[in-house]
Amino acid sequence: LIAGVVFVAALVALKALSSRVDAAIAEVLVDFEKTMKLYYPSRWERLEETQLQNLTGDERDLKLLEVMEQIQVNEPTFMLEVKEKMPSK
């Protein structure tokens, strides 16, 4: 019985942590998109047209995360510039 209670408590804690991580990721995605639209509008438009077109919801979020990772790997200086312009919370 005690093991069951501990297991359930652990699941609840993991769910809460997962929700906070998801919220933090969503916030970063929103900030990244706003920053790109504000400071790099033509580059954002190209990105939307070539990689995000017709994507919505989780599928779009996953693709945008992938795009951010690609930029980080291929253009670290640019990504640092973007990060510096993103609102800090």
Q: What confidence tens digit (pLDDT) does each residue in 20-37 have?
A: 767 888 899 999 999 999
Convert the pLDDT of each residue in 5-19 to its tens digit: 666 666 666 676 667
Q: Which residues contact 63 (CB under 8 A, 6 or more apart)?
A: 51, 52, 55
The pLDDT of residue 84: 95
Contact 73, 80 (CB under 8 A): no
- Cα-Cα-Cα-Cα dihedral of 52, 55, 61, 62, to 10°? -90
Measured CA to CA, the distance from residue 74 to residue 40 in angstroms comes to: 17
